[in-house]
Amino acid sequence: MQPYRLWRSRLKNGLQTLLILLGLSLVLSVPGYLLAGVGGVLICLAAVLMAVYLSSWVPARLILASSGAGLLQRHQAPELYRVLDALYRRAGLSLPPRLYYAPSPDLNAFAVGDRRDGGIALTEGLLRTLSLRQLAGVLAHEVSHLRHNDTRVMSMAAAMSRLTLWVATLVQVVLIMMVPMMIRGDIGIPWLALLVVALSPTVSSLLQLALSRNREYTADLDAVALTGDPRGLASALEVLERFHGAWLESLFGRHPPAWLDWLRTHPPTRERIRRLLALGEDTADDGRPPLFRHTDTGSPVITERPGPLGRRYWIVRRR
């Protein structure tokens, strides 16, 4: 029953992703059509595809080097690499695993790149706070982002939102230039166009945030499929919620307003935990055993903290 629920949730999230991307395309198309008709729509969509294509040529190591991260070698973090090897193998990723270290006290992890060229960075705060079992859930979540090329999907959404803002601004300039003709009565006031131009950037931004939340839900589900251990990731999220939720409580109290959820890049942590625990145990794909057998583990051993990659690291030929 659990694998069925997992695949059902995946299908639901996949359909939501498709609908959100279609919504972003529609919102972009409307000001493009107002500006230049069908040709304007085609030019806008072509510009988005070109931007995504060009961004795929930016090496992941360039972003990691600019963030001040350092490359963790295998002998420096053997336990983490053993977990990551297993996750890459289960995810069907052929690129060699690469872990990066960010000397920050924040509790954070992020994936950069895609399934052809990518890496995962962990902060010092995360390594010191989470156990190996919890880190395995976090790593599986980031591996899922690489597996499904989520950074490329979000790059497309970001390009659509920026282009929607630019085209809407251009339409506003054209409307301002038409004000003298409106005053003389040569043309009527295009109230519908004004409304669309005013709302389209906001709607596009909200759809982009919704897509980000959707991809986080999908990555959670895929992480469970890779580890077979929903409680490992759920316990990690509980720790992160205690750390990151403190500032929200200082602003809004223990019950933040509901509208705040619309402005989040990540779903509410309590909802993520509820969905994970609802899946039950032993939910790995293909009946594989869980990475951890319901017993917590200590923090991983890091024998040495690497220094920053440096500005020249990104030009090194990909191995």
The answer to whether 270 and 241 are in contact (CB under 8 A) is yes
The answer to whether 208 and 24 are in contact (CB under 8 A) is yes
Distance CA 80, CA 53 (A): 32
The answer to whether 223 and 141 are in contact (CB under 8 A) is yes
Which of 283, 152, 144 shows the shortest CA–CA distance to 222? 144
Distance CA 192, CA 183 (A): 18
Both structure tokens of 262: 């619309």
Quick one: 92 exposed, middle or buried, by C-beta within 10 A (0-12, 13-18, 19+)?
Answer: exposed
C-alpha angle 195-198-202 in degrees, rounded to nearest 5:
125
Please identify which of the residues 79, 142, 241, 249 carries the catalytic annotation: 142
The answer to whether 133 and 229 are in contact (CB under 8 A) is yes
Quick one: how far is CA 120 from the chain centroid? 13
Both structure tokens of 86: 């297993």
Dihedral of CA atoms 19, 21, 22, 23 in degrees, nearest 10, equals 90
Both structure tokens of 10: 């995946």
Please confirm, yes or no, whether 79 is among the known catalytic residues.
Answer: no
The answer to whether 24 and 160 are in contact (CB under 8 A) is yes
Residues designated catalytic: 142
